[in-house]
Structure 1
Amino acid sequence: MLDLNRITWIFFDLGDTLLDESAAAKDIIGQYVRNANRLGYSVSYEQMCERLSYYFEQQAEIPIKPVLEDLITSREHWHAIREGVAYKKQLEQPFPGVSSLLQRLSERYCLGVIANQSEGTQQRLDGYGLSAYFQVIGSSAELGMTKPDSRFFEWAFRESGCRPDQAVMIGDRIDNDIIPARQLGMHAIWVRQGFAKVQQPPSGRLAPDYTVDHILEIERLLLPHTS
């Protein structure tokens, strides 16, 4: 159970935590399927989703890689299919209510971002009208560190000046967000959104403090007297 009197910082993942990636994911899966079909592979959208779900559950670092290895027999074709695919960040949008949620949280806590993201994270958050809520924004592309690397989290501690036990990590992935945060002594809330919602949390000291099914549910945990 969280002792809110000790918590001073809340750190967020972005994709499928604050930002809804569903439209972008649907688009890029469709690109993979069409490229595979052009090369003669009978791959369906449903197959791709089923295999992605499986490898997310297995906590594969980059689930699309083993998916393609399963479905595409030629390594040459594997590379050709990947080269013709582009993830469209412009299809991502904040989940409804996220801006208001961050505003309310920022009145009590300092907020930060620890996210595996491509370059331009600050600018995208500016475009969503969210960047003003964050005192620290850490993006893997800019920093050259990728979760679950503990150095990424330690960078956030240095930038924020907070101790791990004073911070909560909120994310959608058990492997990238919850486990590394708990290993370092942070608190953690798992948000079961997106493909990673099938992951199984560990027990014991690495388990999340709380699990919710939608990002807006964290308000009742972190601002219990106002929600």
Structure 2
Amino acid sequence: MDKPFIFFDLGQTLIDEWNYVSYFDNLLFMTLNDYGARIDHRNYIALRNNLILERKFGSSGFMELVSLMARLTLPIGYDITINERLKDDLLKNKRKLVNLFKDVQEIIPQLSKDFSLGIISNNSSGSANLLIQHGLDKYFEIVCLSENIGIRKPDHKIFQKALVESKSNINDCIMVGDRLDIDILPANELGMMTIRTLDSLYKIQTPLNENEYPKFTIGSVNELPLLLSSFI
């Protein structure tokens, strides 16, 4: 009998981005004020969180958030200037500041004994290289990165590609991710079991419709083995 398949998101699911989020927020906050935004830190966080809650911040990563925040706080055209000013700095420091969440190095080999594992992510190959650096890439049979295939979540096609490659019954496939809008929603629509992790910037999201409700919710990925033990 084939093993059930678990597909993981990367950023803020397997990869701890909290240090980068702090760096990003501080840099963008200071830069906006350098250009005359006159926004205090409390209101900066409120604006950023509102973009997440209202789903204004899509699937294009943190640089999209740079542009959105600039448009909200500065005159027309500054978003392009600030984006150009910050993009190299943010890319360089993201590589330095992200790492795997605690216990991922133990959890992945443990899960691979009873489940086949895969990745479905909008993150770049740079983020995926963390798995290689820690010797975990050998446990993942399928890796679908939007950078490589030209399709981004929540498009069903990136999920369908992974599902076809897995040769698994949809009922035996699980999606683990932190975002309701681009992880949980499309996976539910396709009939996968869904597990949401909350150790993420997107933990403030609330379901907008019944398809955004995950089957299970866990505080972080280190709770996954215990949850899945009932499926073995």
Aligned ranges 1:46-65 → 2 under 5 Å: 46-60=42-56, 61=58, 64=65, 65=67
Which residue identity does 2:200 align to in structure 1? G
Give the whole-Å Cα distance in 1 for the aligned partners of 2:49 and 2:207: 15
Q: Please point out which of 190, 199, 202 is paired with 1:196.
A: 202
Matches within 5 A, 1:96-115: 96-115=102-121
Question: Which position in structure 1 is the counterpart of 2:4?
Answer: 8
Q: Deviation at 1:59? A: 2.3
Determine whether 1:153 maps to 2:159. Answer: yes
2:146 matched residue in structure 1: 140
> RMSD of the alignment, in Å?
2.2
Instruction: Please say which of residues 97-106 and 74-83 is displaced more in the overlay.
Output: 74-83
In structure 2, the residue corresponding to 1:59 is in which secondary structure? coil
Matched residue, 2:14: 18
What pairs up with 1:159-174 in 2 under 5 angstroms?
Answer: 159-174=165-180
Where structure 1 has 5 or more consecutive residues not aligned to the other structure, the ranges are: none
The yes-or-no answer on 1:79 pairing with 2:70 is no
Per-residue CA deviation, residues 113-134 of structure 1 (Å, 9 max, x unaligned), is: 0011123344332113321221
SS of aligned partner of 2:125: coil
Quickly say closer, same or farther: Cα 1:157–1:51, change in 2 above 3 A.
Answer: same
Q: Secondary structure at the match of 1:51?
A: helix
Distance 2:226 2:208 in 1: 23
Q: How does 1:124-135 map to 2 (within 5 A)?
A: 124-135=130-141
Q: Pick from 10, 17, 30 the counterpart of residue 34 of structure 1.
A: 30
Percent identical residues: 28
Distance 1:27 1:140 in 2: 25
Distance 2:33 2:208 in 1: 38
Kindly state the Cα deviation for residue 24 of structure 1 after the two structures are TM-superposed.
1.0
Offset of residue 204 of structure 1: 4.0
Instruction: Specify the code of the residue in structure 1 equivalent to 2:83.
Output: R
CA contact under 8 A between 1:114 and 1:153: conserved in structure 2?
A: yes
Aligned letter for 2:38?
A: S
Structure 1 range deviating more: 37-46 or 164-173: 37-46
CA contact 1:13–1:171 (8 Å) conserved in 2:
yes
Number of matched residues?
Answer: 221
Question: Residues 210, 97 of structure 1: CA spacing in aligned structure 2 closer, same or farther, 3 A cutoff?
Answer: same
What is residue 217 of structure 1 aligned with on the other side?
223
Task: In structure 2, list runs of 5 or more residues that go unmatched.
Answer: none
Output the amino acid matched with 1:66. Answer: L
Distance 1:11 1:152 in 2: 12
Equivalent position amino acid for 1:71 in 2: T
Q: TM-score, normalised by structure 1?
A: 0.88
CA distance in 2, matches of 1:153, 1:36: 37
Q: Given the superposition, is the C-alpha separation of residues 33 and 204 from structure 1 closer, same or farther in structure 2, using an over 3 Å criterion?
A: closer
Q: State the secondary structure of the residue aligned to 1:42.
A: coil
